[in-house]
Chain A
Amino acid sequence: MKEEIRLMKGNEVIAHAAVRAGCDGYFGYPITPQTEIMETLMELKPWETTGMVVLQAESEVASINMLYGGAAMGKRVMTSSSSPGISLMSEGISYIAGAELPCVIVDIMRGGPGLGTIQPAQSDYFQIVKGGGHGDYHVIVLAPYSVQEMNDFVEDAFDLAFKYRTPVIILSDGIIGQMMEKVVLKAPTPRLSNAEIERRYGSWASTGSKRNGKSNVITSVNLDSLQQEEFNLHLQRKYRTIEKKEVRYQEFECDDAEYLIVAYGSSARISHKCVELARAAGIKAGLLRPITLYPFPVEPIAELSKRVKGILAVEMSMGQMVEDVRLAAEKQIKIRHYGRCGGMIPSPNEVFDALVSLTKED
């Protein structure tokens, strides 16, 4: 395997990228619109080449607990699912966060609530960015907006997961998962040996061999409240570091913008087209696209809020990320939301109409 250019679905790319990023194990359970991830892994048969394990578990609950076990051994492990499946995994994600373990979870969102629809949506922002599971924890959330980023973010997610010993969630949706684009697949990185994991990331993993007569015990339970508070404060210090160092975002035409759109993932693609339409119509619009949803790009939005007349948050939900935009804005300006839900996809001209209404509010 070497670097190559292919035309692929976002879901297929996730599978290729996992093998090429030296992933040790994938555990999953099928659900539309992300089933191609496991399907592609099964086709690639990486157990014959890199030795990576690919296992269809009996449920999402089993998958996430297999991840917990693999992560405790210091392995690069991954799962993927879509909205209802992620709900089932939420307990496990909280445990993994509580045990400070690294893992990568891919969520290809579909419309809810309940079993909902299999069409694309972004209605799980609250679930993924604000918790989902119980307890005072965060996970790092990456929001790819192209098939190329579906590739690139897998390796980035593993790196961040191990750097901070935290779950990292790649939050995408049925549009990016199902669509094909040109993608450059990187040359593969080999899987790491136990010794290499220890050299790079320290000796926290429970590898089955005692060091200096001491075992590593991995757990998320601590019945001493004082100690548990201490642990929580330690987590919070870690989150402050992440908020300081790992914010990622991209701006389009923001320099002279009078109106700002904030959108992530596929909504950012649609909004980018809306900015093109707006500029053609003489409206000075710009787009800020959060790439990390946690940590959220608070500062750039705060800065832009001082310069623009209004902000439009565009999401395939009834208004979730817009709350973070409101919290980030430092100046009292008009902040509106435009969204479709239930699997309906907003078209660029719909977003344009919403932007025009915002400009006419004065």
Chain B
Amino acid sequence: MKQEIIIAGFGGQGVLSMGKILAYSAVMQGQEVTWMPSYGPEMRGGTANVTVIISDRPISSPVIHEYDIAVVLNQQSLDKFEGKIKVGGILLYDPNGITRPSNRKDIRIYAVEAAEKAAEIGNVRVFNMIVLGALLKILPPMLSADSIRNGLRKSLPERVHATIPANEKAIETGMEIVQKQN
């Protein structure tokens, strides 16, 4: 089984670290993985994206032109990646800030109100973990809960390990609130 995933949004939304936790969870599960960021003169507010490939076989190219799953967190990213989702693939998005939602009929579309929920919880920093939870919920069953817990621990530097319970709670929240749109 192979999943080719793009996560895209604004810099500062935690796009890259979300991809890293996903990738580390896959490593914990003994899977092959590539994590390739867009890097550049990027800053908070600019766009950022990361391609994560998880596979039980060696991965040829970390660079790909179509995706099984696109996680998009702003309109620019939706415009850029909507057309690159494989037929039968998945779009996961946060409707906050989206003015023109996707009207593709040949993909499955899920929404997660992560920004709204994070504001409601009163901790905007768990925004990306809510999105990650939603993604894990709809991802084919490749990663066990244990692998995700271990991935989270491995990805976060020890100085912020005190935030792990809040992050784990946010992942659970994301799993609960994700909604199928079509």
- Give chain A residues whose Cβ lies under 8 Å from the Cβ of B37: 178-179
Which single member of B20, B35, B36, B61 contacts A273 (CB below 8 Å)? B61
In the complex, B153 has a CB within 8 A of chain A: no
- Among the 9-residue stretches B62-70, B119-127, B168-176, the one with 4 or more Cβ atoms under 8 Å from chain A is B62-70
Tally inter-chain residue pairs, CB-CB below 8 A: 69
Asked if B117 lies at the interface with its beta carbon under 8 angstroms from chain A, I say: no
Contacts of B143 in A (CB 8 A): none
Verify A175–B35 contact, CB threshold 8 A: no
Which one, B33, B62, B63, contacts A7 given CB within 8 A?
B33
CB pair A175 B36 closer than 8 Å: yes
Interface size class of B (residues with CB under 8 A): 20 to 34
Chain A 240-278, CB-CB to B under 8 Å as 1, else 0, gives 000000000000000000000000001001101111100
Residue numbers of A with Cβ under 8 A of B are: 5, 7, 32-33, 118-119, 174-175, 178-182, 266, 269-270, 272-276, 345-350
The listed residue (B23, B61, B155) touching A269 by CB distance below 8 A is B61
Q: Taking A118-B40, A119-B40 as contacts, is the C-beta distance between A182 and B27 under 8 angstroms?
A: yes
Bound CA span A32–B41, Å: 10
Tell me if B63 and A180 are in contact (CB < 8 A): no
**Which of B33, B64, B65 is within 8 Å of A182, CB to CB?**
B33
CB pair B35 A347 closer than 8 Å: no
A273 touches B27 (CB 8 A): no
Could you tell me the distance between the alpha carbons of A118 and B42 in the complex, rounded to whole angstroms? 11
A251 to B131, CA, bound (A): 41
A175 adjacent to B62 (CB under 8 Å): yes
Q: Are B63 and A347 in contact (CB under 8 A)?
A: yes
Decide yes or no: A348 and B65 within 8 Å by CB, A7-B27, A182-B32, A272-B60 being known contacts.
yes
Please name the residue on chain B nearest to A352 by beta carbon: B65
Determine whether B108 belongs to the interface, using a CB cutoff of 8 Å to chain A: no
Query: In the complex, A354→B154 CA distance in Å?
Result: 41
Cβ contacts under 8 Å, A174 to chain B: 39
Enumerate 18 A-B pairs (CB-CB under 8 Å) in ascending A order.
Answer: A7-B20, A7-B27, A119-B40, A175-B63, A178-B36, A180-B20, A180-B23, A180-B34, A266-B62, A269-B60, A269-B62, A269-B63, A270-B63, A276-B60, A347-B63, A347-B65, A348-B61, A348-B65
